[in-house]
């Protein structure tokens, strides 16, 4: 698989610029090793790779992903590794890939962008065809790695209310609130932001229940988390909750 990994790294470097690296860094509050490749560049590299190597099977692409992740130095290399799988995850691999995702979250994600990209794109597509696994991510909230704890919230944001085939999948709101209970006092700012994000999305379909949850836990909720959670609520509701 090494020759494919080398080819991918070279392809990324062809799109890299100092200006794009500086622009990417502005999205982070801490230093991130950026090559200087944007999302459109990564999408193009992945697409060209698949077009050039049509003979590769899904398991071979997974092996390439694993090697690229293990050798990744730049943030964009991690995002490219995840992107390689998006073409395959809905119809290939078995349920055990969810365990690999957990391993990647604990060993290869190093910032919010890699966590969110893996959860919102790759894992989302994987779970879309395997809704019986959606609740199997609950134990991620107990991980020693903060990025995996963030993922326990982010991985659910698209499944609060999600049409799947001819049915609608609705995540039990009590699971959302229990996730919040466990992580309410988590010291990591990005875990807290993910809590606010999950509550905000949940409020779209369970507005009163989320308001009641906030009122009940107002003393434990960090102000930043609260602001994220109420962002889409009406001004009067937002004002009332902020003054509690």
Residue 55 lies in a domain: no
For 183-228, write each residue's pLDDT tens digit: 999 999 999 999 999 999 999 999 999 999 999 999 999 999 999 9
Percent of the chain with pLDDT over 90: 93
- 236, exposed or middle or buried, with CB in 10 Å at 0-12, 13-18, 19+? exposed
Domain CATH code at residue 170: 1.25.10.90
| Residue 178 pLDDT level (bands cut at 50, 70, 90) | very high
Residue 215 lies in a domain: yes
For 120-168, write each residue's pLDDT tens digit: 999 999 999 999 999 999 999 999 999 999 999 999 999 999 999 889 9
Rounded Cα distance between 193 and 112, Å, is: 10
Domain count, the chain: 1
Residue 36 lies in a domain: no
Residue 144 lies in a domain: yes
201-207 long-range contacts, CB within 8 A, separation 24+: 201/157, 201/160, 202/160, 202/173, 202/176, 203/229, 203/230, 203/232, 203/233, 204/160, 204/161, 204/232, 205/160, 205/161, 205/170, 206/160, 206/173, 207/233
* Range of lowest pLDDT (22-26, 93-97, 108-112, 186-190): 22-26
Q: What is the pTM of this model?
A: 0.94
DSSP states along 52-74: HTTT--HHHHHHHHHHHHHH--S
Residue 141 lies in a domain: yes
- Whether 27 shows a pLDDT value over 90: the answer reads no
**C-alpha 197, offset from chain centre:** 12
Residue 124 lies in a domain: no
| Residue 71 pLDDT level (bands cut at 50, 70, 90) | very high
Q: Containing domain of residue 181, as a range?
A: 131-244
* Range of lowest pLDDT (7-11, 38-42, 164-168, 195-199): 164-168
Residue 70 lies in a domain: no
Residue 198 lies in a domain: yes
């Amino acid at each position: 698989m090494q020759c494919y990994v080398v080819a991918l790294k070279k392809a990324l470097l062809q799109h890299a610029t100092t200006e794009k690296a500086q622009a990417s860094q502005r999205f982070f509050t801490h230093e991130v090793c950026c090559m200087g490749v944007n999302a459109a560049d990564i999408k193009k590299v992945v697409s060209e790779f698949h077009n050039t190597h049509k003979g590769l099977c899904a398991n071979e692409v997974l092996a390439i992903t694993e090697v690229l992740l293990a050798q990744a130095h730049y943030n964009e290399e991690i995002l490219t590794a995840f992107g390689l799988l998006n073409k395959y995850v809905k119809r290939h691999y078995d349920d055990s890939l969810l365990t690999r995702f957990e391993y990647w979250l604990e060993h290869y994600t190093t910032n919010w962008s890699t966590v969110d990209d893996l959860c919102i794109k790759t894992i989302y597509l994987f779970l879309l065809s395997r809704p019986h696994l959606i609740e199997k991510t609950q134990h991620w909230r107990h991980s020693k790695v903060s990025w995996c704890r963030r993922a326990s919230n982010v991985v659910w944001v698209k499944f609060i209310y999600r049409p799947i085939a001819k049915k609608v999948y609705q995540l039990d709101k009590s699971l959302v609130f229990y996730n919040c209970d466990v992580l309410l006092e988590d010291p990591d700012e990005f875990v807290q932001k993910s809590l606010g994000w999950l509550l905000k999305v949940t409020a779209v379909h369970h507005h009163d229940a989320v308001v009641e949850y906030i009122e009940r836990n107002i003393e434990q909720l960090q102000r930043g988390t609260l602001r994220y959670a109420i962002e889409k609520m009406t001004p009067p509701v937002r004002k009332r909750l902020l003054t509690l």
